[in-house]
Amino acid sequence: MIHFEPVVKYAKQLAKEVGADEEIVEISAWLHDIGSIHGHKDIHHEYGRDYAQKYLSELGYPQEKIDMVKHAIYAHRGSQSIARETKEAECVADADAMSHIYDVVSLFRLAFKDKQMETEDAREFVKLKLERSYNKLSDFGKQFIKDQYDAVVIVLKK
C-alpha cells in the first residue's frame, strides 16, 4: 500500500492542475499496479487494464469511463513507451514516476534489502532510477517536481 497512496495523492493534484477527470484519475491510480500485487509484475500494465475491465464492469461502472481507466492503467508503464492519449493517463504515469522521486528511501531499501547492493552500487542504482523516472515525466510533470528532483540529484552526487 505504501506506493499506491503517494501515487493517488500526486495523481489527484495533477488532475486538478491540468483539468483531468479526477474520478478517472483516482480510480486508475489505485489500480495502476494491481497486476504486480497479483503476481504479474512483467505485464502488470496489461493485467491491470484487464482487471479494471472485469472489476469495474461488475460494479456497473459506465463502459466509457472504464475505457478511460483502462487506458490510464495500460499507458502508465514508462518502460513500454505506450502513448498517453489523455490527460488522465498523463496524470497517472506522472504520479507513478513522481512517487519514486519523493520516496528515495524506498528505492534505497529496494537496493540494499532486495537487491543486496553495496553502498556505491545502491547510490548509482537510485540515481539512475530517479533519472529514468524524471525523463518519463510530461513537461508539466517535470515542472511540477523540478525543485524536489534537483535537490535529490544534489544529495546523490559523489
State pTM to two decimals: 0.86
Buried b (16+ CB within 10 A) or exposed e, 141-155: bbebbeeebeebeee
Segment-wise mean pLDDT, segments of 10 residues, the chain, 158 residues:
83 96 97 82 80 96 98 81 87 92 89 94 94 92 94 88
Domains and CATH numbers, the chain: 4-156 (1.10.3210)
Distances (CA, A) of 145 to 29, 111, 130: 18, 23, 12
